Structure 1
Amino acid sequence: MASRNHMPAPMCLIENRARKLVICQQALRLLSEINTPVVVVAIVGLYRTGKSYLMNKLAGKNSGFPLGSTVQANTKGIWMWCVPYPGKPDQTLVLLDTEGLGDVEKGDSQNDSWIFALSVLLSSTLVYNSIGTIDQQAMDQLHYVTELTQHIKAKNQTTENPQGRDDSAEFVRFFPTFVWALRDFTLQLQLDGHSISEDEYLENALKLKRDKGDSRNIQLFNQPRECIRMYFPTRKCFVFDRPTSRKNLARLEEMQESELEPDFVEQAHQFCRYIYRNSKQKTIPGGHVVNGRLLANLVVTYVGTISSGEVPCMENAVLALAEIENSAAVHDAVVRYVELMDQKLNLPTETVQELLGIHAQCEETAIKVFMGRAFKDDKRQFQVELMKTLDQKKEEYCMKNERKSTQRCLALLKRLSQELEEKLKKGIYNNPGGYQNFLKDQKSIREQYQKESGKGVMAEATLQQFLKDKEVVGRAILQSDEALTEKEKEMAAAKAKAETAEREQEIQKQQLATEKQKLEDQRRSYEANIKQLEQKMVKERKALLEEQERMVECKLKEQEAMLREGFKKHAAQLNNEIQQLKQENENVQKPSWLPGILGTLADAASLVLPGWFRVGAMAFSNWMKQL
Structure 2
Amino acid sequence: MATDVQMPAPVCLIENTEGELRVNQKSLEILSSINKPVVVVAIVGLYRTGKSYLMNKLAGKKSGFSLGSTVQSHTKGIWMWCVPHPKKPNHTLVLLDTEGLGDVEKGDNKNDTWIFALAVLLSSTFVYNSMGTINQQAMDQLHYVTELTDRIKSKSTPNKDEVENSSEFVSFFPDFVWTVRDFTLELVMNGKPITSDEYLEIALKPKKGKPEEVKMFNLPRQCIRQFFPKKKCFIFDQPTHRRKLAQLEKLHDSELEPEFVEQVENFCSYIFQHSNVKTLQGGITVNGPRLENLVLTYVEAITSGDMPCMENAVLALAQIENSAAVQRALKHYEEMMKERVQFPTDTLRELLDIHATCEREAIEVFIKDSFKDVDQKFQKELANQLEARCDAFCNQNQDESTKRCRALLQDIFSPLEESVQKGAFSKPGGYGVFLQMTKDLKQKYYQQPRKGIQAEETLQEYLKSKEDVADAILHADQSLSAKEKDIEVERVKAEAAEAAAKQLEEMQKKTQEMMDRNEKSYQEHIKQLNEKIETERKQLLAEQERTLALKLQEQKQLLKEGFNSEAQQLQNQIKALEKRLNESQKRRGCIIC
TM-score (norm 1): 0.92
Q: Which amino acid in structure 2 is aligned with residue 246 of structure 1?
A: R
- Give the Cα–Cα distance (whole angstroms) in 1 for the partners of residues 530 and 298 of structure 2: 32
Deviating above 4 A after TM superposition, structure 1's stretches of 4 or more consecutive aligned residues are none
Q: RMSD in angstroms over aligned alpha carbons? A: 1.7
Q: Which amino acid in structure 2 is aligned with residue 201 of structure 1?
A: Y
Q: Indicate yes or no: 2:590 matched with 1:595.
A: yes
Give runs of aligned pairs for residues 12-51 of structure 1, distance below 5 A: 12-51=12-51
Aligned residues of 2:337 and 2:354 also touching (Cα < 8 A): yes
Give runs of aligned pairs for residues 459-498 of structure 1, distance below 5 A: 459-498=455-494
Q: Which amino acid in structure 2 is aligned with residue 297 of structure 1?
A: N
> What is the aligned counterpart of 1:353 among 344, 349, 352?
349
Q: Indicate yes or no: 2:153 matched with 1:153.
A: yes
- Give the Cα–Cα distance (whole angstroms) in 1 for the partners of residues 481 and 590 of structure 2: 74
Q: Indicate yes or no: 2:519 matched with 1:527.
A: no
2:391 aligned residue? 395
Gaps in structure 2 of 5+ consecutive residues: none
Query: How far 1:530 moved relative to its partner?
Result: 2.0
- Give the Cα–Cα distance (whole angstroms) in 2 for the partners of residues 557 and 345 of structure 1: 60
1:604 aligned residue? none
Give runs of aligned pairs for residues 78-93 of structure 1, distance below 5 A: 78-93=78-93
1:28-50 residue CA offsets vs partner (Å, 9 max, x unmatched): 01101211111111000011111
1:577-610 residue CA offsets vs partner (Å, 9 max, x unmatched): 22222222222222x54434x14xxxxxxxxxxx
- Give the Cα–Cα distance (whole angstroms) in 2 for the partners of residues 223 and 585 of structure 1: 28
1:531-572 residue CA offsets vs partner (Å, 9 max, x unmatched): 222222222222222211111111111001111222223212
1:266 aligned residue? 262
- Give the Cα–Cα distance (whole angstroms) in 2 for the partners of residues 428 and 448 of structure 1: 21
Query: How far 1:3 moved relative to its partner?
Result: 4.3
- Give the Cα–Cα distance (whole angstroms) in 1 for the partners of residues 342 and 280 of structure 2: 44
- 3-state DSSP class of the match of 1:110? coil
- Give the Cα–Cα distance (whole angstroms) in 1 for the partners of residues 349 and 336 of structure 2: 17
Give runs of aligned pairs for residues 563-602 of structure 1, distance below 5 A: 563-590=559-586, 592-596=587-591, 598-599=592-593
- Give the Cα–Cα distance (whole angstroms) in 1 for the partners of residues 580 and 228 of structure 2: 21
- 3-state DSSP class of the match of 2:106? coil
Q: Which amino acid in structure 2 is aligned with residue 203 of structure 1?
A: E
Aligned residues of 1:537 and 1:594 also touching (Cα < 8 A): no
Size of the aligned set, in residue pairs, is 592
1:301-325 residue CA offsets vs partner (Å, 9 max, x unmatched): 0011111111111111111111111
* Structure 1 range deviating more: 471-480 or 56-65: 471-480
Query: How far 1:166 moved relative to its partner?
Result: 5.0
Aligned residues of 2:333 and 2:359 also touching (Cα < 8 A): yes
2:167 aligned residue? 169
1:119 aligned residue? 119
1:342 aligned residue? 338
Q: Which amino acid in structure 2 is aligned with residue 138 of structure 1?
A: A
- Give the Cα–Cα distance (whole angstroms) in 2 for the partners of residues 182 and 455 of structure 1: 80
1:205 aligned residue? 203
2:424 aligned residue? 428
- Give the Cα–Cα distance (whole angstroms) in 2 for the partners of residues 187 and 567 of structure 1: 28
Give runs of aligned pairs for residues 37-436 of structure 1, distance below 5 A: 37-157=37-157, 160-161=159-160, 167-212=165-210, 215-436=211-432
Aligned residues of 1:13 and 1:28 also touching (Cα < 8 A): yes
1:625 aligned residue? none
Query: How far 1:515 moved relative to its partner?
Result: 1.9
- Give the Cα–Cα distance (whole angstroms) in 1 for the partners of residues 56 and 361 of structure 2: 42
Query: How far 1:480 moved relative to its partner?
Result: 2.2
- Give the Cα–Cα distance (whole angstroms) in 1 for the partners of residues 454 and 299 of structure 2: 58
- 3-state DSSP class of the match of 1:147? helix
Aligned residues of 2:116 and 2:144 also touching (Cα < 8 A): yes
| Percentage of pairs with the same residue | 54
Q: Which amino acid in structure 1 is aligned with residue 574 of structure 2?
A: I
Q: Which amino acid in structure 1 is aligned with residue 195 of structure 2?
A: S
1:45-89 residue CA offsets vs partner (Å, 9 max, x unmatched): 011111111111111111111111111111111111111112211
Q: Which amino acid in structure 2 is aligned with residue 327 of structure 1?
A: S
> What is the aligned counterpart of 1:500 among 490, 493, 496?
496
Query: How far 1:418 moved relative to its partner?
Result: 1.1
- 3-state DSSP class of the match of 1:42? strand
Aligned residues of 1:587 and 1:593 also touching (Cα < 8 A): no
- Give the Cα–Cα distance (whole angstroms) in 2 for the partners of residues 587 and 210 of structure 1: 37
Query: How far 1:508 moved relative to its partner?
Result: 1.8
- Give the Cα–Cα distance (whole angstroms) in 2 for the partners of residues 217 and 583 of structure 1: 34
Q: Which amino acid in structure 1 is aligned with residue 127 of structure 2?
A: V
- Give the Cα–Cα distance (whole angstroms) in 1 for the partners of residues 3 and 447 of structure 2: 58
Q: Which amino acid in structure 1 is aligned with residue 191 of structure 2?
A: G
Q: Which amino acid in structure 2 is aligned with residue 122 of structure 1?
A: L
Aligned residues of 2:79 and 2:96 also touching (Cα < 8 A): yes
1:104-128 residue CA offsets vs partner (Å, 9 max, x unmatched): 1111111111100100100010000
* Structure 1 range deviating more: 393-402 or 562-571: 562-571
